[in-house]
Amino acid sequence: MFSEEDVKTQQSYHHGNVKNALIDAAMDLIERNEADAISLRRLAKEVGVTPSAVYNHFADRDSLMLAIKIRLYKELNQFFDEQVSLTDDPEQALLEVCFAYFRFSQEQPARFMFLFSSTLPLELSTPEFIEVSCHSLVRSRKLVYGVFEKYNIPCNEEDIVNTTVLIWSQLHGIVLLRNSGSIPAAVAYQDWPPSCGLNQDNEVEALIRNHVKMTVDAIISKQAIGGQH
């Protein structure tokens, strides 16, 4: 049941602000590591509106989650835009994109985990969601293509996409393993070199730099091998 004060709070919102207020409340739950508690009824209570007001904006929880993800992807894309320079060198730009991915996971850990720990059915995708969720991946694909062009290496779309997915998946694995503490634990228990523990951010960035270099070297190697035939 909602009190008279709740109803007054609801009336104080302009119609267009209720949706943003509900998403803001969801963001607060994510930041408090209470993402599992996100529901239409919980957000109605957090914002101080009636459940019917929530259903005016979101038909169900899936539509709510879609709106939250769109907000998060926009934040991620803006972060990338701020972190990546306007260099014409595709290798440097690709490296900066990878660094930005890692730094976002450090500065916004709760948002990062929520963004990549849950998925939505493909049929729920909207043009806006597709645009914002693929923005950084499309940028990375263009940079990978730029690397092939830089070294005048023949390629097809499959080469470019596979290389892009390889870079992204390996980068994501590095970030997740480091953030989970699995790598430092393995180093400690297996008596591996302490320098491999990725305890410092600069050690993670050094590994990412090496990861990108190895990928570029593999691209160049493909041309060298092809030239032998």
Neighbours of 133 (CB within 10 A): 19
Q: Which amino acid is at 16?
A: G
CB contact at 8 A, 84 and 42: no
Domains and CATH numbers, the chain: 1-58 (no CATH), 64-227 (1.10.357.10)
Give the per-residue pLDDT at 225: 44
Give the per-residue pLDDT at 119: 78
68-95 burial, b for 16+ CB within 10 Å, e for fewer? bbbbbbebbbebbeeebeeeeebbebbb
Q: What is the mean pLDDT of residues 132-155?
A: 94
State the chain's mean pLDDT as an integer.
87
pTM: 0.85
Give the per-residue pLDDT at 223: 59
- At which residue do the structure tokens 């092809």 appear? 226
Give the per-residue pLDDT at 3: 47
Q: Which three-class secondary structure state does DSSP give residue 32? A: coil
Rounded Cα gap, residues 183 and 198, in angstroms:
7
